Structure 1
Amino acid sequence: MRVNNRICNLNTSQADEEEEEDKGEEEEEKVRCDGGDRSFDSRSRALQVVLPDDWETTAEVIRETGRKVLGVSSGRRKEDKETWWWNEEVQDSIQRKRLAKKKCDMDRTEENRQEYKELQRRVKREVSKAKQKAYDELYTRLDTREGEKDLYRLARQRDRDGKDVQQVRVIKDRDGRVLTSEESVQRRWKEYFEELMNEENEREKRVEGVNSVEQKVDKIRKDEVRKALKRMKSGKAVGPDDIPVEVWKCLGEAAVEFLASLFNRVLESESMPEEWRRSVLVPIFKNKGDVQSCSNYRGIKLMSHTMKLWERVVEARLRKVVEICEQQYGFMPRKSTTDAIFALRILMEKYRDGQRELHCVFVDLEKAYDRVPREELWYCMRKSGVAEKYVRVVQDMYERSRTVVRCAVGQTEEFNVEVGLHQGSALSPFLFAIVMDQLSEEVRQESPWTMMFADDIVICSESREQVEENLERWRFALERRGMKVSRSKTEYMCVNGREGSGTVRLQGEEVKKVQEFKYLGSTVQSNGECGKEVKKRVQAGWNGWRKVSGVLCDRKISARIKGKVYRTVVRPAMLYGLETVSLRKRQESELEVAELKMLRFSLGVTRLDRIRNEYIRGTAHVGRLGDKVREARLRWFGHVQRRESEYIGRRMLDMELPGRRQRGRPKRRYMDGINEDMKLVGASVQDAEDRDRWREMIRCGDP
């Protein structure tokens, strides 16, 4: 083995190793190296880590080092166990009680019985004292800056503990029969995902080729590796190699130098380590449908973190050479769901006010990521101008890829994955954007008549016949290349349509007509109103509140901490998408009533206590939700005003349609709310050009 002298000298003392007996059930062993774990940060700094040149040896050195310095955990944190408060005094007392019980059973004298009774009482006191001490230490830690992460972990754990069923250990087969044995459940998971990830839709084979771009590519630079490392989040589940990204972050420049050298060897040879080809697939329930049906689960792959770093380096280079169309809003810089939601809402508002019909079709693709033909992916990459070197590198990422399914009853046998993109990959979203960009090149129209967010597509037109024709063109363009439009989930909506008017057809089959549609998480209505969306935001807020109610309803946690959890978990769910609508007073009141109910529940206060709302907000340090909605709306409006004139939001606000507003009380428009908001804070449209001044004028702080 050839070893070079890349040594990372880390300079704090090694903490004493602690041995914990696992009193819970046996679970898969993992190196204790999760993202926020202070033990890794402090205990690893004493070690001199030698990084060999080859990946296999390096990976083994890191794993062995982790086992020696950090030890191996059972996969659960101490606080997650029922006996997390256990200490040596309790252990000794229970041991003496057990011996006294055996002695009493063997010789039932009054003296032995009294001794056992006394030890029982002593154990109860010791347990109560140990629990109280452990909880006091826990709550003291939660009230510090260092304990913030523990606070949210505790909330998630208590949410899991409160569920009737935490893991689904039985599943249905393809005929609907319930499988109960571990072997049959594992076989079913393997059968479902193996079929899903190896079955292509029907498609036309391409007869024409495309010229490849043969050009020399630069070597991977260390600054590229640093940027990729910075973008990687800590605390994420590791892949089969058990090496988290935190290892590379802690090793600093030694890691950057090693990774740059490793990635250059992979780039030159166009062959990555075999260990990176393996992954673990975890089924995640979609929170809808039958919990025992495999089709209601989304498979997320746990892949090597080092491979994800390699993917991020490649992705950054691809983004520099590939220009994605303006209609794509998913995973694009300076674009988000809010841009697409805002554009659609303003478009619908303009047509409603002009009393003109607007026809929208929301297209859904079946198993979009899992059914992308790989030959189409290579073709689209070449057609987008990607250098052949990068095409071969990406091909290598998908070559001989294998996975296992990790379910509640264990892991399945390994199987090959030969179709589709990797779910959970850092590169997959951009590769999918390249595919959609090329396949829709001849059928898409400019925004907002066509908008895409990854595989979520909305097609708009002024006539039903035109939108039906466009839908058929989209279907033909996608399905001839292996993508399939879902007949059951594709839906049609008409703004200002006549009562009883028909719907559009797709290959002679009627598309479901709806009055409301959940677009990118925000509910849009055919009448242009937002009443349903407000109710959905209230519901989303309560869902978020229930998930952290284990912390919010704990009387021993301070009101300040509860307010912080509310502001970071519950309130964002209630505010999502509301910057794109103008609310009436009644709708604002509906949101604030729900908010105050949550705060009163959290603080253990009822209306019978006759405590004013201002005092409740001040105690929890939570401002009025109506003020936060106004701040979000003005912040978004300022962002739109500062963007270039070609930006979709600016074009929608400046759009003028012929037509007259209907008689009677005029419908509330987005700019009506903005003008009221600006008048309230004393701002003007011109103030929005200065970002810092605008932020200062609109800001509403919490008490």
Structure 2
Amino acid sequence: DKIPNEYFKNLPMNWQLYLLSLFNKIMESETIPKSWSKSIVSMLHKKGSRDDPENYRPISLLNSILKVFTKILLERLKSWDDYCNILPESQSGFRKGRSCLDNLFIVNSLCQIILEYREKDFFIIFVDYKKAFDSVNHHLLWRKLNNFGVSGKIIRLLQSLYSAAKIQVSCNGDLTDEISVTNGVLQGEELSPYLFSLFISDLKDFFTERGAVLIQLDSKTEVLGCEYADDKVIFADSVTDVTNKLHILSEYADSNFLEINTNKTKIIHFHKGKEKHIRSFYYKDKIIESVPSLMYLGVLFSNSGLFYKAAQLAHSKALSAAGGVLNICRKSKVASWESRSKLNDALVTSCLLYGVQIWGLRYLEKIEHAHLNLFKKMFSLNRSTPLWLIRMEFNITSSSYKVLKLTLKWITKLLLMGDTRIPKLCFLRLRYYHEKKPSLKYNWYTQVVNILKQINEDSLLSDLDPKNFKQKTVLVLNTYRQYLLNKDYESLYSSKYNLQYLKFFDPIPDLQQYLQTDTPFAVIKLWAQIRLSSGYYIKFTINDLCYLISPKHKCTVCNRDAFEDLFHLFVSCPIYDDVRRHFIPFIRNIPPNDFPNIFRSPDSFTCKQIYYYVCNIMKIRAFIMNE
């Protein structure tokens, strides 16, 4: 209809009443206008041959007014489901208060419990439905909705919508003839994923009726698997169990007119110790591949049950995102330190810390390396620059603090869940096993306790009242932040990496003075290189040219038997006297003890003059040394 969503969002009250009246008439007549059921589909190429239709992803454009109406139907169905509990507890997709973290936590918790405390292997079948949303049989969907107790009026409205549903494919600016939608749910509006979730909500009952053995979580709770919309995983604890569940899955798919994509359906065999040979698994007559690792809801799971590979992948993604930030800054000529810092948080930190409260508690150091790598690249710093020095210089909060904050927020959410919620039951079970036998390697709860012990706050987990826990986390986080800051100050006072930095560093402002000056980023970058240089290695990067200086070696430019350190470069080397007199006369003849003060709290003028000075003397030095 070419009416943008913003039009409906900004309707005046009288037009909202007209819209309400229209929707009420549709509800009474149980007939949706046929024009609302039309959609235009654009095909986006994913990868592979452009001649293969399977390599395209359809993107549907629906009438905005239909989206508003189906949103109303969705809210009514959700209210009904909240009362009747039709959707299984294991389904987290498109449900209020639930997210991918629920499923990630369940999978990780069960893996740890079975491997460590039940001393058994653990299998997960990662099920991939072939064209899941496009395969829903309409007649079967109406029958299931009726059996669940959905209002007949809503079912008839949906039948009216789908009986008239037609699509046109957009190709090179032209539209194909209309094609009737005889299977599948519409795409491009919020109700469809919910309808699919209802369609497969009887999966657990189907399995139990056929004698499938579920995974015992506690004395009252058994788990078949978990879902996030059409992302389905099924748990098993033996080869026989996997084989049986694949057979039942085939029966379920056939009876519901669904097709399993055997090329994308995978199995992970979780185990301790060395690799084990497992015979092939079959779905009907096709082999299902067993893989050592697999990406599930954005997190890489490995058959060891550990997350070392996930940490490596997150590190790699953060490096890639850091490259993107640098390109944006370079092309957009972003000079502001604040803008660069915000870009880092938006693109790098968010990428690095996704799901970290589940997988990252044993890999805090690796996460911190990835977190600060952008700053090393942005300022072209030495690879050996200590992480504590970067945090101090740029006033960066340690990623360890952010990980703990996300973890405690997740625990608060777990404690607020109902007593039948599987993530909460997993948490309580991990706590139970921790009290019997702590395991830093295979118990997430133990990993949390281990971090809290660093600040003597492990008693936080003794009181699981959500209100009290949330109040205490504020104090605990402040304590942890101060603990990390104190460790950095200890390094500042004890490290021999840069003995002058203690004199350069100004502890009073939140941000070092030169970072706040109104100067080009090239100037700020050079100042960072000066201040963060080591006693063994000075590196200046100017206009993509890199100049390396060793302060432990004698200056071969002047041959005055003096070490080529910062003081010699800026104050005493006679070769640079004319340049010094022109750009930085205020430094000439300055005593060695006062020299570091120049770099402590400079104004914009000083920053620029130092930059010009270094640019010129590096050219002279390179010419003399034939570099």
Q: Scaled by the length of structure 2, what TM-score is found?
A: 0.66
Q: Which residue of 1 aligns with 2:60?
A: 301
Deviations 1:359-418 (A, max 9, x none): 2211111110111111121111111111111111111222222223335x3233232232
CA contact (8 A) 2:225 2:235 kept: yes
Per-residue deviation, 1:467? 2.4
CA distance in 1, matches of 2:147, 2:319: 48
Once the two structures are overlaid, the 10-residue window that deviates more, 530-539 or 434-443, is 434-443
Q: Which residue of 1 aligns with 2:98?
A: 335
1:589 aligns with 2:365: yes
- The partner residue of 2:443 within 669, 689, 694 is 669
Q: Which residue of 2 aligns with 1:511?
A: 288
Per-residue deviation, 1:546? 4.6
SS at match of 1:441: helix
CA distance in 2, matches of 1:255, 1:327: 41
Per-residue deviation, 1:656? 7.5
CA contact (8 A) 2:318 2:351 kept: yes
Deviations 1:316-359 (A, max 9, x none): 11122232111212112222111111011011111221321222
Percent identity between the aligned chains?
A: 22
SS at match of 1:370: coil
Per-residue deviation, 1:609? 10
Q: Which residue of 2 aligns with 1:431?
A: 195
| Structure 1 segment 259-298 matched on structure 2, within 5 A | 259-286=19-46, 288-290=47-49, 293-298=52-57
1:484 aligns with 2:265: no
Q: Which residue of 1 aligns with 2:217?
A: none
SS at match of 2:260: coil
Q: Which residue of 1 aligns with 2:173?
A: 410
1:579 aligns with 2:339: no
Q: Scaled by the length of structure 1, what TM-score is found?
A: 0.60
Q: Which residue of 2 aligns with 1:499?
A: 276
CA distance in 2, matches of 1:635, 1:324: 26
Q: Which residue of 1 aligns with 2:493?
A: none
CA contact (8 A) 2:204 2:224 kept: no
1:399 aligns with 2:180: no
Pair 1:289–1:623, CA change in 2 (3 A)? farther
CA distance in 2, matches of 1:609, 1:352: 39
Per-residue deviation, 1:263? 0.5
1:256 aligns with 2:20: no
SS at match of 2:234: strand
CA contact (8 A) 1:404 1:411 kept: no
1:628 aligns with 2:387: no
SS at match of 2:205: coil
SS at match of 2:334: coil
CA distance in 2, matches of 1:658, 1:539: 36
SS at match of 1:443: helix
SS at match of 1:494: strand
- The partner residue of 2:3 within 223, 233, 243 is 243
CA distance in 2, matches of 1:688, 1:293: 56
Q: Which residue of 2 aligns with 1:461?
A: 236
CA contact (8 A) 1:582 1:672 kept: no
| Structure 1 segment 53-452 matched on structure 2, within 5 A | 241-286=1-46, 288-290=47-49, 293-322=52-81, 323-354=86-117, 355-407=119-171, 409-416=172-179, 417-438=181-202, 440-443=204-207, 448-452=223-227
Pair 1:693–1:263, CA change in 2 (3 A)? same
- The partner residue of 2:427 within 648, 653, 661 is 653
Per-residue deviation, 1:512? 0.7
CA contact (8 A) 1:567 1:622 kept: no
SS at match of 2:233: strand
Per-residue deviation, 1:672? 2.5
CA distance in 1, matches of 2:391, 2:12: 44
Largest Rg, 1 or 2: 2
Amino acid at match of 2:294: F
CA distance in 2, matches of 1:620, 1:405: 52
Provide structure 2 residue ranges, at least 5 long, that are not aligned to the other structure.
209-213, 215-220, 482-509, 512-627
Pair 1:623–1:687, CA change in 2 (3 A)? farther
Once the two structures are overlaid, the 10-residue window that deviates more, 489-498 or 518-527, is 489-498
CA distance in 1, matches of 2:375, 2:186: 42
Amino acid at match of 1:574: L
Provide structure 1 residue ranges, at least 5 long, that are not aligned to the other structure.
1-240
CA distance in 2, matches of 1:536, 1:369: 30
Q: What value does the CA root-mean-square deviation take over the aligned residues?
A: 3.2
- The partner residue of 2:306 within 529, 544, 548 is 529
Amino acid at match of 2:293: E
1:560 aligns with 2:338: yes
CA contact (8 A) 2:301 2:310 kept: yes
